Amino acid sequence: MKNFRPLLFEDLQVESSGLAVLRLCVNQHLPEVEWVQTHRHDFSQCLLYLSGHGLQQVDGENYSVSAGSLLCVPAGVPHAFEKRSPQVPLCLVVDFQIADSAVTMQPVSRLNAEDLTLMRQRLSWLMSVSETRKDIAIQAREAAAVLDVAGILLAVALGSLKNKLARPVSDKVRRAIKNGELQTMTLANLMEQIGLQKDHLNRVLKRECGLTLSQLLAEARLEKAKTLLCNLKLQVQEAGSAAGFEDRNYFARWFRKQTGLSPRDWRNEQLQG
């Protein structure tokens, strides 16, 4: 995330319905740090990767993480991190306690593009007020934003996040992309199917889901490429072509920009995992 400054809220003690948020921070590893040694806490922790790529270890299990990956670490569970790309990881860390000890969270999950955009918006606002003089109203909004951030992460981890917002245009675009052929799909034929001009369509999409038409198409191409790369019967070039990239060199550069790894290295890492 460009221009993100470090963000730190300590000793929060923000509580609601059995959830206590103790600390929230956005931090970036030092460039020279390749490995965060195994450690544990006496509180639970959510780790949301906003950028970068690496290998997160939780209780002896290894998980490949990238932008949108959410790791939930219960209190007392050992965890560590290994950087796997030149890009320095940027991570949102939320320390919390839950009154109900029976609550079980998924150890690893992902935020979709809309929820990741929403999370970035919440963090941007928190950063905008973190260094300002706060009156009671700002403090109340700040506490509500912190709880909202924690609530979104926990809802994803618990598998209970339901998208209740009406998003007719973005849903229509996603259906058109899903039902079409990525190999030959263009922005022009997508706009023709939707029936809106580019500028107006992008304004509507940004309002509904935080992404433009080209970003939605790129998101679909990336998921398609990842799925095909997991098929060892296909060459890397074939996976790229099926996702809409005829130039294999451009595909390799584009894929590295999205994931921090070349298509071949990404495939090898999935095999090792």
Whether 270 contacts 230, CB under 8 Å: yes
Query: Which domain, by its residues, includes 36?
Result: 7-157
The answer to whether residues 233 and 264 belong to one domain is yes
Alpha carbon distance 15, 98 (integer Å): 10
Long-range contacts at 148-151 (CB < 8 A, ≥ 24 apart): 148/122, 149/24, 149/92, 149/94, 149/119, 149/122, 149/123, 150/19, 150/21, 150/24, 150/46, 150/94, 150/96, 151/19
Backbone angles phi, psi at 69, to 5 degrees: -75, 135
**Does pLDDT of 134 surpass 90?**
no
pTM of the model: 0.57
Does some domain include residue 163?
no
The predicted model gives 108-128 an average pLDDT of 79
Place of tokens 């030959």: 184
Residues 134, 176, single domain; the answer is: no
| pLDDT value at residue 238 | 95
Indicate whether 178 belongs to any domain. Answer: yes
Question: Of the residues 157, 186, 207, which one is the last residue of a structural domain?
Answer: 157
The more confidently predicted of residues 159 and 108 is 108
Percent of the chain whose predicted confidence (pLDDT) is above 70: 85
Both 40 and 64 in one domain: the answer is: yes
Q: Is residue 36 part of a domain?
A: yes
Whether residue 50 is predicted with pLDDT greater than 60 in this model: the reply is yes
**42/73 same-domain check:** yes
Question: Is the model more confident about 27 or about 72?
Answer: 72
CATH number of the CATH domain containing 68: 2.60.120.10
Most confident segment among 16-30, 213-227, 241-255? 241-255
Same domain, 148 and 172: no
Q: How far, CA to CA in Å, does 270 sit from each of 57, 223, 232? A: 15, 14, 11
Mean pLDDT rounded to a whole number for the chain: 81
| Top-confidence range, 3-17, 167-181, 241-255 | 241-255
Q: Which of 106, 124, 157 is the C-terminal boundary of a domain? A: 157
23 and 141 both lie in a single domain? yes
Spatial CA neighbour of 207 closest among 167, 179, 247: 167
- Alpha carbon distance 83, 64 (integer Å): 10
d(CA 46, CA 88): 19
Please report whether residue 61 resides in a domain: yes
* ∠ Cα 141 147 148 (to 5°): 85
Structural domains counted in the chain: 2
Exposed, middle or buried: residue 113 (CB in 10 Å: 0-12, 13-18, 19+)?
middle
- Has residue 86 got a pLDDT over 60? yes
Considering the domain boundaries, does residue 1 fall inside one?
A: no
For 19, left (φ over 0), alpha (ψ -120 to 50), or beta?
Answer: beta
Last residue in a domain, options 157, 177, 211: 157
Do 103 and 29 share a structural domain? yes
> How many angstroms separate the most distant Cα atoms in the chain?
61
Is 101 inside any structural domain? Answer: yes
CATH for 267: 1.10.10.60
Q: Are residues 124 and 199 in the same domain?
A: no
Average pLDDT over residues 144-173: 74
Does residue 32 share a domain with residue 137?
yes
Lowest mean pLDDT among 63-72, 104-113, 194-203, 227-236: 104-113
Shared domain check, 17 and 89: yes
Q: pLDDT class for 121, splitting at 50, 70, 90? A: confident
- Report the amino acid identity of residue 25: C
- In terms of domains, do 202 and 141 share one? no
Q: What is the pLDDT of residue 27?
A: 76
Residues 184 and 93 in one domain: no
Helix, strand, or coil here: 96? strand
